Amino acid sequence: MTCKRVLSGIQPTADSFHLGNYLGAVKQWVQLQEDHDVFFFIADLHALTIETDPALLRKRSLLSAAQLIASGVDPQKCTLFLQSHVSQHNQLGWIMECLAGFGEASRMTQFKDKSQKTGTDRTAVGLFTYPMLQAADILLYQADRVPVGEDQRQHIELTRDLAGRFNSRYGQTFQIPEPHILKSGAKINDLQDPTSKMSKSAASMQGVIEIMDTAEINAKKIKSSMTDAGREIRFDQTEKPGISNLMTIHSALSGSSIADIEKEFENKGYGDFKGAVAEIVVEYLRPIRAKAVELLEDETALVKILHEGAEKARVVAEKTLALTYKNLGLVQ
């Protein structure tokens, strides 16, 4: 039996993953590598679509890789690499740009939203062609499934359309990928604004638990999280969004059911409960952060892991690109 190929990418646009990223994506990637042929990459070329500081991009790319490995993404079990290390992404990206219609690309809502915010004069052409590079990322590896968040659904639909169009015009070349929309079983919200999703673009980081933060900072953020009215520990997202969010975090990390948590804290107050959640989060993240810090201390070794990943990725990417060129009539 051949196992299904899964591919996903993450942009190196933050100094740290937060608990929402971790539970919503990274933890699920780690599970997928047990019974799938998994390709994960850091989309450093996609990060160039907005103006970036070179030192920061470099730091964040390495930080992302270190955090992925520290979270359990195992370079022995999967193929982990940097997008810019495999030049076939750009090469197939061009082919995808020639295949996509201008109107079709103009309908991408992420582009529309982002370019509206910056204004056309300051929007990079790369932001417009971004989904075609993403299609190339996926199709190069003949991925069967692409685990992504809901916000990426339209890009995966475009990828499917482009793959189908290419196959029917030029002959069978690409596997048509299925989107695998990650339903974060546990939807993690901001600690200060518990009706909004935990996000790196929050107005204040006070409500965001970051993997790379110290235990002290994270414990403090939880202990000073928004307090709901009332006093009992009960799961009720309308009346008690703050406590419910902390219960979701507790349950996702400890494995205890919401009912068991309610029982455990039946006669206790918010202070006790927050203290317990702080302890669980801190202890859960402690080894992940420590491992990431350790990996970052030996940058040469970390970069070597990424080069080895790129070498494995290139074997697959080269094969797909050669077939694509041949089917297009480019002289081989």
Tell me if 316 sits within 8 A of 88, measured CB to CB.
Answer: no
**Which residues lie across from 181 on neighbouring strands?**
148
CB neighbours of residue 218 within 10 Å: 22
Q: What is the DSSP letter of 164?
A: H
Q: Residue 155: what residue type?
A: H
Only one residue has tokens 């520290």, namely 70
Task: Supply the DSSP symbol for 227.
Answer: P
Total of chain residues touching ligand TRP, rule CB under 6 A: 12
State which residue, 106 or 214, has the beta carbon closest to ligand TRP.
Answer: 106
For ligand TRP, the closer of residues 43 and 68 by Cβ is 43
Residue 148 interacts with ligand TRP (CB under 6 A)? yes
Q: What is the distance between the alpha carbons of residues 301 and 304, in angstroms, rounded to a whole number?
A: 5
Let me know if 87 is exposed, middle or buried by CB neighbors in 10 A (0-12, 13-18, 19+).
middle
Q: Choose among 62, 73, 11, 16: nearest CA to 39.
A: 73
Q: By CB under 6 A, which span of 61-69, 145-153, 235-243, 264-272 interacts with ligand TRP?
A: 145-153
Examine residue 32 and tell whether it contacts ligand TRP (CB under 6 A): no
Q: Is the Cβ of residue 146 or residue 158 nearer to ligand TRP in the bound state?
A: 146
**Can residue 89 be called a binding residue for ligand TRP (CB under 6 A)?**
no
| Residues 115-144 as x/- pattern, contact with ligand TRP by CB under 6 A | -------------------x--xx------
- The distance of closest approach from Cβ of residue 137 to ligand TRP in the complex, given in angstroms and rounded to an integer, is 4
Scan residues 46-65 and list those touching ligand TRP (CB under 6 A): 46
Going through the chain in order, the beta strands assigned E by DSSP cover 5-10, 37-42, 79-82, 145-148, 178-181
- What residues numbered 149-168 form the site for ligand TRP, per CB under 6 A? 152
The residue from 197, 220, 268, 312 that is catalytic is 197
Using left for φ > 0, alpha for ψ between -120 and 50, and beta otherwise, residue 37 falls in beta
Torsion 111-117-121-122 (CA) sign: negative
- Give yes or no: 114 in active site: yes
- The distance of closest approach from Cβ of residue 50 to ligand TRP in the complex, given in angstroms and rounded to an integer, is 11
Q: Which is nearer to ligand TRP, 104 or 232 (CB)?
A: 104
Find the shortest distance in angstroms from Cβ 8 to ligand TRP: 5
**Any catalytic annotation for residue 304?**
no
Interface positions, 97-116, toward ligand TRP (CB under 6 A)? none
Residues within the interface to ligand TRP (CB under 6 A):
7-9, 11, 43, 46, 134, 137-138, 146, 148, 152
